[in-house]
Amino acid sequence: MPFVNDILNHRSLSIVGLEKNTGKTVCLNYILRRLNTLGVHVGVTSIGVDGEQVDSVFATAKPEITLYEGTHFITSEQHYLKRQVVSVVEAVDSRRTALGPLVTARVLVGGKVLLSGAATTGILKQQIASLDAMGCRLSIVDGALSRLSLASPTVTDAMVLATGAAVSANVKQLISKTRFVYSLINLEEIEPSLRDCLSNIESGLWAIDSNGEPHDLGIASVFLIDRAEKDILRFGKTLFASGAVSDRLLKVLATKEKGITLIARDFTKLFLTPEVYTDFVRRGHRLMVMQRSRLIAITLNPTSPQGFLLDSRSTCEALSDALQTPVYDVMKI
């Protein structure tokens, strides 16, 4: 059972896609089916809406989510009422969503469900904790659209990345786009002592001196960095961006003295294009993260919503060779 045993080393897992229609739900169903055969108690939710029969954008058929006896799941009241399982309600969240309060239930007789979960990662972390308290050995979060925020190591312990023809029907472009995200996921971590020092910083751009002490540069937003009155490297060449890291920040830093190390919280805070990141590194600078996300597997959906079909075997092999890591089409294993 490729990569499923690795999943069991973690308490929570996110399934995220580089684009919509990259096979997240198919991957979720594969994992749920395999874990059910192992008798693993699983909890499932979503950060958006998943399991609908028809794609809301392309009007194409989509796989539904299948849950098994004993599985806990969290979904909105509106979608709970549409369930095709026999279940018992365990809890109802008093906070309302656009689709009603969030309902936590346990499956008595398996079947199909629609999942629509928390809109924020903060609520999502609370839900994972509640599923853990209910005895779930593993909590799985299915992503919506191409949202990567739930893959943050501050939210889930591990992640599966789904890619495919929806990203690009051109294999070279597919490899290029997937490899770039893969490289960001695997950025080098800073040392634990420095991570502890930075963990309570919530906003702004900071400098780290030679003794590992942080200094607030008084720059609340990266959009103000080019207006900074003082030299931002006056404390040294190591900087920490507590929020999002954009092309704009890298472009400004790239022009400065060689040897800058920029630290981001994790790869989900990086909103970069390959060209700007490559130029930043080429000029002798380095990008690191406070905490690296644990990537369990990469999966491929060879079919695009427009009807393009890639050869599954050769594309998986090409991606595996380029990334130096296995890539799976779960429909073939």
Q: What mean pLDDT is predicted for residues 217-245? A: 83
Per-residue model confidence as pLDDT tens digits over 261-296: 999 999 999 999 999 999 999 999 999 999 999 999
The set of residues, in sequence order, having a beta carbon less than 8 Å from that of 306 and lying 6+ positions away, is 58, 169
Q: What mean pLDDT is predicted for residues 133-156? A: 84
> At residue 146, does pLDDT exceed 70?
no
> At residue 102, does pLDDT exceed 80?
yes
Token reading at 72 = 């806990």
Q: Within this chain, do residues 75 and 204 fall inside the same structural domain, yes or no?
A: no
Q: Within this chain, do residues 77 and 216 fall inside the same structural domain, yes or no?
A: no
Q: Within this chain, do residues 16 and 51 fall inside the same structural domain, yes or no?
A: yes
pLDDT of residue 150: 73
Q: Which of 289, 306, 322 is the last residue of a domain?
A: 289
Per-residue model confidence as pLDDT tens digits over 63-72: 789 999 999 9
> At residue 1, does pLDDT exceed 70?
no
Q: What mean pLDDT is predicted for residues 235-254? A: 93
In this predicted structure, which of 10-24, 45-59, 194-208 has the lowest mean pLDDT?
Answer: 45-59
Q: What mean pLDDT is predicted for residues 183-193? A: 96
Q: What mean pLDDT is predicted for residues 297-318? A: 94
- Measured in residues, the chain has a length of 333
pLDDT of residue 333: 82
Q: Which amino acid is at 302?
A: P
pLDDT of residue 227: 66
Q: Within this chain, do residues 178 and 222 fall inside the same structural domain, yes or no?
A: no
Cβ atoms 312, 333 nearer than 8 A: no
Cβ count within 10 A of residue 291:
17
> At residue 51, does pLDDT exceed 50?
no
- Measure CA 221 to chain center: 24
Q: Within this chain, do residues 49 and 170 fall inside the same structural domain, yes or no?
A: yes
Q: Within this chain, do residues 144 and 82 fall inside the same structural domain, yes or no?
A: yes
Q: Within this chain, do residues 64 and 163 fall inside the same structural domain, yes or no?
A: yes
pLDDT of residue 50: 54
pLDDT of residue 59: 47
When divided into structural domains, the chain yields a total of 2
Q: Within this chain, do residues 211 and 161 fall inside the same structural domain, yes or no?
A: no
Q: What mean pLDDT is predicted for residues 200-219? A: 92
Q: What residues pair up with 115 in beta bridges, in sequence order?
A: 50
Q: Within this chain, do residues 138 and 18 fall inside the same structural domain, yes or no?
A: yes
Q: Which amino acid is at 331?
A: M
Pairwise CA distance, residues 162 & 144, whole Å? 12
pLDDT of residue 149: 75
pLDDT band for position 331 (cuts 50, 70, 90): very high
> At residue 297, does pLDDT exceed 80?
yes
Nearest to 19 by CA among 51, 53, 57: 57
Average pLDDT, rounded, for the chain:
90
> At residue 195, does pLDDT exceed 90?
yes
Pairwise CA distance, residues 130 & 257, whole Å? 48
In this predicted structure, which of 65-79, 169-183, 228-242 has the lowest mean pLDDT?
Answer: 228-242
Helices 312-323 & 171-185 angle (0-180, nearest 10): 40
Q: Where residue 62 sits, what CATH number does that domain have?
A: 3.40.50
Q: Within this chain, do residues 276 and 309 fall inside the same structural domain, yes or no?
A: no
> At residue 329, does pLDDT exceed 60?
yes
Three-class SS of the chain: CCCHHHHCCCCEEEEEECCCCCCHHHHHHHHHHHHHHCCCCEEEEECCEECCCECCCCCCECCCEEECCCCEEEEEHHHHCCCEEEEEEEEEEEEEECCEEEEEEEEEEEEEECEECCCCHHHHHHHHHHHHHCCCCEEEEECCCCCCHHHCCCCCCEEEEEEECCCCCCHHHHHHHHHHHHHHHCCCECCHHHHHHHCCCCCCEEEECCCCCEEEEEECCHHHHHHCCCCCCCCCCEEEECCCEEHHHHHHHHCCCCCCEEEECCHHHEECCHHHHHHHHHCCCEEEECCCCEEEEEEEECECCCCCECCHHHHHHHHHHHHCCCEECHHHC
Q: Where residue 220 sits, what CATH number does that domain have?
A: 3.40.140
Domain hosting residue 87, numbered range: 4-186+293-332
Q: Within this chain, do residues 303 and 230 fall inside the same structural domain, yes or no?
A: no
Q: Within this chain, do residues 93 and 203 fall inside the same structural domain, yes or no?
A: no
